[in-house]
A and B are shown apart, each in its own frame.
Chain A
Amino acid sequence: MPQVKSLDELRKLREQVKEEISTRIETGTTIIVGMGTCGIAAGARDTMHAILQELDKRQISAHVRTVGCIGMCAREPLVDIEQAGKPRVTYGNVTPDMVPRLIEEHLKNGHVIEEWVVGRKTTDEIGL
């Protein structure tokens, strides 16, 4: 184990280990993957793994949650991106190969990829 020799070193160590508790801390971004039986059958698990890897690769701290079926089974895997103060955007038929662009455009650049969107909700509508 490395010895902590100064306050700066401790703060660096904190940066390294903060991932350990990241899911327990508020972040501004939540990515929600439809994981009903329909979602799983359409490959939502693979899509979710791709999202997790992409977030890890780019060192983006965002929560990844799963939800049950919302009824739009034909468009599964459904991926919602919810960011503080912005409308919640739902993307349909998200396959693993679409994930890098999704993260790049939506999370990094802040652009919604209109052609993949199947719906969006303002925070008022979802009662938050």
Chain B
Amino acid sequence: MTEPIYRADVLVCAGTSCESSGSRSVRAALDEELAKAGLTDEVRVVETGCRGFCSMGPVMIIYPEGVFYCQVKVSDVPEIVEETLLKGRVVQRLVFTETESQMAVPYYEDIPFYQKQLRVTLRNCGVIDPTNIDEYIARGGYEALGKALSEMTPEQVIEEVKASGLRGRGGAGFLVGLKWEFTAKAPGSPKYVVCNADEGDPGAFMDRSLIEGDPHTLLEGMAICGYAVGAHDGYVYCRAEYPLAIKHLKIAIEQAEAYGLLGDNIFGTDFSFHMHIKEGAGAFVCGEETALIASIEGRRGEPRPRPPFPAVSGLWAKPTNLNNVKSYANVPQIILRGAPWFASIGAQRSPGTAIFALTGKVRHTGLIEVPMGITLREIIYDIGGGVENGKKFKAVQTGGPLGGCLPEEQLDLRVDFDSLRQAGAVMGSGGMIVVDEDTCMVEFTKYFLTFATAESCGKCVPCRMGGRRMLELLTKITDGRGEMKDIDEIETIAAAMASGSLCSLGQLTPGPVLSTLRYFRDEFIAHVQEHRCPSKQCAALVQYYVDPVACKGCGICARNCPTDAIAGGRRMIHIIDQEKCVKCGTCLEVCPFDSILKVSGDTVAVPSELIPIGTFSQ
């Protein structure tokens, strides 16, 4: 058996998103078909991390051509092998098609979703096999660590990171280099390096994708930090719900240790660095640094007042540097390519890139990396492809459950730490949820508040009580029982929570409510004063009527009504009993003649008793 010489690589995305849409079985089918066609020695199949285009998953890229296939099913595999891998022809029906022009875009680099993106932090994600350290090394991996250890002093490393202007990607945007300097200068030994991989925001999956797709970048960044601050142990705090990320991280640690790139005497120097993984149970509050540290120590995950900050007294009361996954992942390239290179990307005071999990009502959801300073419009329309189903854009929520909602007027806002904060939203962990005209902003806010309230650890009163009271008031409004003074009270509670809570969970919980009140106040007022939900979403404020002119008397609505609330008969105008109606909307869905009217704040004149169709007059 001769050594295989590969002419083509088939990259199958095995990130959690594509895996859940079936990439494992696609891979298995691929292996089988390649064996059948006798191509095993010339075509290599590589399982990679996330390519970001999750709505098109499972995705597959075939190199050297760079052919990009979307939504590949097991049944497509024989054709891919026969046509593309054997004969070099593109299977047209599997390539990405632009929605408007219906143009087929067979090659990865031409797809609009990727054109405005800039992959710096995620540069290896979806390109290499995350379980093979050689592929990381082939991409220049561990050279930054080698350079730091053999050519730079710890102080120089810190200076380089400071000069790059890299700001913490966990949300607050504190200067990473400065934080390192605090830890390095803090008295006490040993010191620790901790990575916050407790990504808890609903809809956020960038940290997970990065660890799944390129675990070595995180390890290398943490080891460089360890050298800079004088620590010999690193901890990754990752939620147990991320089994694939943890698996890849474990494999990566083993492989790096086998090469001597982690462990004792790295690169033949006297610097030693050992990595540990701590699996968290998934409490949202453990994303807060002091709660996270408490959890690693085996205590209950609750925050404590700061100062002292972890840089002075962190893990086991020792100086501890704590950064987010993406912060560490940016470091190797800063060391290798220099601070000026990094500072030249993105916005002036927020250099580098931002990674967002783009979800909600956009056409193309997924994981995107963009230069800081890009506008929201470019993200949502050029990358995300706009709002799906031809609906109208209403708002974009950034920063997860503690973030804020921005309206259409803010679409030209440049995305960076400071401008988002000024607009009433935050960068946060990088969730980005787009909602369309069918979303009630009060209800939407309630969703985030429900999450934040449920995740409050309960230690401090403003967070524990404030969130709950606010939720009650919002519920009152969506139930149609709201009063104008409730809106004022929400604002009072919000201010108290922001100033009085122990940690940012409580401080930022009012964020979505406040930003929504700022930009969509008229929707709150419509609920309270007019008992009207402008988006017709709040069940208590919505009524269904049969249109007495359009009704054909077919009886389908009445048969499908779960509460028998619709009276009628053959060729009679049907009437909904408003007392019995539970507002499930089934009649609206099943009516073949679009004769069901959904209204909020309006009334519809209907006959008072059953009469034959065509006989109704006002």
Of chain B, the residue at the smallest CB distance from A54 is B5
Specify which chain B residues have a CB less than 8 angstroms from the CB of A6 in the assembled complex: 146, 150, 267-268
Measured CA separation A40–B86 after assembly (Å):
9
Report the minimum CB–CB distance from B511 to chain A (whole Å).
Answer: 41
Measured CA separation A67–B84 after assembly (Å):
8
Contact pick for A7, options B87, B89, B147, CB 8 Å = B147
B64 touches A5 (CB 8 A): no
Report the minimum CB–CB distance from B359 to chain A (whole Å).
Answer: 29
Specify which chain B residues have a CB less than 8 angstroms from the CB of A23 in the assembled complex: 6-9, 44, 63-64
Of chain A, the residue at the smallest CB distance from B266 is A4
Of chain A, the residue at the smallest CB distance from B256 is A4
Judge whether B127 is part of the interface by a CB distance below 8 angstroms.
yes
Specify which chain A residues have a CB less than 8 angstroms from the CB of B63 in the assembled complex: 23-24
Measured CA separation A107–B44 after assembly (Å):
25
Measured CA separation A10–B216 after assembly (Å):
15
B7 touches A52 (CB 8 A): yes
- The 0/1 profile, CB within 8 Å of A marked 1, for residues 1-39 of chain B is 000011111010000000000000000000000000000
Judge whether A28 is part of the interface by a CB distance below 8 angstroms.
no
Interface residues in A1-43 by Cβ distance below 8 A to B read: 1-7, 10-11, 13-14, 17-21, 23-24, 27, 30, 32-33, 35-37, 40
Interface residues in B241-258 by Cβ distance below 8 A to A read: 258
Judge whether B489 is part of the interface by a CB distance below 8 angstroms.
no
Specify which chain A residues have a CB less than 8 angstroms from the CB of B139 in the assembled complex: 21
Measured CA separation A65–B84 after assembly (Å):
10
A4 touches B261 (CB 8 A): yes
Contact pick for B88, options A35, A49, A52, CB 8 Å = A35
B134 touches A20 (CB 8 A): yes
Judge whether A105 is part of the interface by a CB distance below 8 angstroms.
no
Specify which chain B residues have a CB less than 8 angstroms from the CB of A55 in the assembled complex: 5
Specify which chain B residues have a CB less than 8 angstroms from the CB of A3 in the assembled complex: 259-260
Report the minimum CB–CB distance from A19 to chain B (whole Å).
Answer: 8
- The 0/1 profile, CB within 8 Å of B marked 1, for residues 54-67 of chain A is 01100000011111
Specify which chain A residues have a CB less than 8 angstroms from the CB of B138 in the assembled complex: 14, 17-21
A30 touches B64 (CB 8 A): yes
Interface residues in B48-67 by Cβ distance below 8 A to A read: 63-65
B5 touches A56 (CB 8 A): yes
Judge whether B143 is part of the interface by a CB distance below 8 angstroms.
yes
Of chain A, the residue at the smallest CB distance from B148 is A7
Of chain A, the residue at the smallest CB distance from B64 is A63
A17 touches B137 (CB 8 A): yes
Measured CA separation A64–B39 after assembly (Å):
14
Judge whether B42 is part of the interface by a CB distance below 8 angstroms.
yes
- The 0/1 profile, CB within 8 Å of A marked 1, for residues 119-156 of chain B is 00000000110001011011110110011011100000
Measured CA separation A3–B142 after assembly (Å):
13
Report the minimum CB–CB distance from B36 to chain A (whole Å).
Answer: 15
B64 touches A20 (CB 8 A): no
B64 touches A7 (CB 8 A): no
Interface residues in B401-426 by Cβ distance below 8 A to A read: none
Measured CA separation A67–B8 after assembly (Å):
13
Judge whether A94 is part of the interface by a CB distance below 8 angstroms.
no
Specify which chain A residues have a CB less than 8 angstroms from the CB of B88 in the assembled complex: 32-33, 35, 65-68
A10 touches B142 (CB 8 A): yes
Report the minimum CB–CB distance from B264 to chain A (whole Å).
Answer: 10
Measured CA separation A111–B259 after assembly (Å):
44
Count residues of chain B with CB under 8 A from any CB of chain A. Answer: 38
Of chain B, the residue at the smallest CB distance from A57 is B5
Of chain A, the residue at the smallest CB distance from B258 is A1
A67 touches B89 (CB 8 A): yes
Contact pick for B260, options A4, A27, A30, A32, CB 8 Å = A4
Judge whether A53 is part of the interface by a CB distance below 8 angstroms.
yes
Measured CA separation A90–B44 after assembly (Å):
27
Contact pick for B5, options A1, A4, A18, A52, CB 8 Å = A52
Interface residues in B311-357 by Cβ distance below 8 A to A read: none
A65 touches B65 (CB 8 A): yes
Measured CA separation A49–B132 after assembly (Å):
27
Judge whether A99 is part of the interface by a CB distance below 8 angstroms.
no
Of chain A, the residue at the smallest CB distance from B84 is A66
Measured CA separation A2–B133 after assembly (Å):
13
A17 touches B87 (CB 8 A): no
Measured CA separation A77–B88 after assembly (Å):
14
Specify which chain B residues have a CB less than 8 angstroms from the CB of A67 in the assembled complex: 87-89
Measured CA separation A67–B83 after assembly (Å):
9
B268 touches A5 (CB 8 A): yes
Report the minimum CB–CB distance from A62 to chain B (whole Å).
Answer: 9
Measured CA separation A30–B87 after assembly (Å):
16
Report the minimum CB–CB distance from B118 to chain A (whole Å).
Answer: 18
Specify which chain A residues have a CB less than 8 angstroms from the CB of B44 in the assembled complex: 23
A7 touches B267 (CB 8 A): yes
Report the minimum CB–CB distance from A68 to chain B (whole Å).
Answer: 4
Known contacts A21-B139, A23-B9: A10-B127 contact under CB 8 Å? no
Specify which chain A residues have a CB less than 8 angstroms from the CB of B146 in the assembled complex: 4, 6-7, 10
Judge whether A48 is part of the interface by a CB distance below 8 angstroms.
yes
Report the minimum CB–CB distance from B203 to chain A (whole Å).
Answer: 30
A7 touches B150 (CB 8 A): yes
A4 touches B267 (CB 8 A): yes
Report the minimum CB–CB distance from B136 to chain A (whole Å).
Answer: 9
Of chain B, the residue at the smallest CB distance from A24 is B63
Measured CA separation A6–B271 after assembly (Å):
12
B134 touches A17 (CB 8 A): yes
Measured CA separation A112–B134 after assembly (Å):
37
Contact pick for B64, options A4, A24, A35, A48, CB 8 Å = A24
Report the minimum CB–CB distance from B531 to chain A (whole Å).
Answer: 60
Of chain B, the residue at the smallest CB distance from A53 is B5
Pairs A–B under 8 Å by Cβ, sample size 25: A2-B259, A3-B259, A6-B150, A6-B267, A7-B149, A10-B142, A10-B146, A19-B138, A20-B132, A20-B135, A23-B8, A23-B9, A30-B64, A35-B86, A35-B87, A36-B87, A48-B42, A49-B42, A52-B5, A65-B88, A66-B85, A66-B87, A67-B87, A67-B89, A68-B88
Give 5 new A-B contacts, CB below 8 A, not counting A20-B134, A24-B64, A52-B7: A4-B267, A14-B138, A23-B8, A40-B86, A55-B5
Q: Chain A: residues with CB nearer than 8 A to chain B?
A: 1-7, 10-11, 13-14, 17-21, 23-24, 27, 30, 32-33, 35-37, 40, 48-49, 52-53, 55-56, 63-68
Q: Chain B: residues with CB nearer than 8 A to chain A?
A: 5-9, 11, 42, 44, 63-65, 85-89, 127-128, 132, 134-135, 137-140, 142-143, 146-147, 149-151, 258-261, 267-268
6 A-B pairs closest in CB distance: A66-B88, A63-B64, A7-B146, A3-B260, A5-B268, A17-B134
